[in-house]
Amino acid sequence: MPPQSVVIVGGSVAGLLQGLQLKRSGSNVIVLEQDPSKDRHSHESGVSIGRTVVHLLDKYDATGRPAAIPAKYLSAAWHKWLRVVNTHWAHSMSNWGCLYLILRANFDGLKSETVPNPPQPRKGDGDVEYWPGKRATGLKYDRDAGKVHLQYVDVTTGEEGTVSADTIIAADGVHSTIRKILQVPTRKEYAGYIGWRGTVPESLLSEQTIEYFSNRLNFTVMNGTYFIRRVNRLDICGCPLTWV
């Protein structure tokens, strides 16, 4: 049986996926996200989504907006030699911002260019809220009441507050505040490389370039470095050519 009340720390894709499932199960959910911005355009990176996410969206999404486009191939180039590898690899390509806005539309009815008409709640949905600009600062368990009390601070005003729930879910990423509060051992190591990400509007590309990068995930391998490039068609998610 799902908990009656839930607070999720972290309002990114992982937190919203959990929140949407719980909402559809009848739980009352509050999501706290320390980023105060509404649309989070700085996170517009390309992503591939697996079968689990596709299944969850098929089950819980009510927007009718495609969250991903299917791609058939994985290709690699070596310096100027194109398609030295070209293998069949069925997967779904999306964009972080597109996925986030679809989830927000389903979760708390956020309007955006991606989803201008968010769906109404379904029968049996729980009540939900999304609180931007709130950073978790402390946890306390009330054994007698069976509640967890979460302390937070507004990152813009400095105002402090407390919210209580049956269950607290930590979905605040690799630098998790909740893990630090609970003193959960973590190990962070430098991966040995740095990724630079950029985007190019599809309208600035030639048809030949678009065709070369479409329907596949592309690698270009060089000495000591490589590029990952992809095109998500504008009529699906509003995504330009993305490269890393």
Domain containing 202 — which CATH number?
A: 3.50.50.60
Find out whether 3 and 18 touch, Cβ atoms under 8 Å. no
The total number of structural domains in the chain stands at 1
The SS3 call for residue 115 is coil
* 194 in Cβ contact with 152 (< 8 Å): no
Each residue's pLDDT, cut to its tens digit, for the chain (244 residues) gives 899 999 999 999 999 999 999 999 999 999 999 999 877 766 667 788 888 999 999 999 999 999 888 889 999 999 889 999 999 999 888 888 889 999 999 999 999 999 999 999 999 999 999 999 999 999 999 999 999 999 999 999 999 999 999 999 999 988 899 999 998 888 888 888 888 887 788 888 899 988 888 888 888 888 888 777 766 554 455 555 566 5
CA of 88: how far to CAs of 19, 53, 218, in Å?
Answer: 35, 21, 12
Length in residues, the chain: 244
Cα separation of 100 and 14, whole Å?
Answer: 9
Distances (CA, A) of 133 to 11, 37, 43: 10, 8, 16
Residue 66's domain comprises: 5-243
Q: Does pTM top 0.75 for this prediction?
A: yes
**Taking a C-beta distance cutoff of 8 angstroms, is the pair 22, 29 a contact?**
yes
Orientation angle between helical segments 96-108 and 13-24, nearest 10 degrees? 30
Strand 167-170 relative to strand 5-9, pairing: parallel
Whether residue 10 contacts residue 26, with contact meaning beta carbons closer than 8 Å, is answered with: no
Strands, E, within 45-171: which ranges? 46-49, 69-78, 81-95, 128-132, 134-142, 147-154, 160-165, 167-170
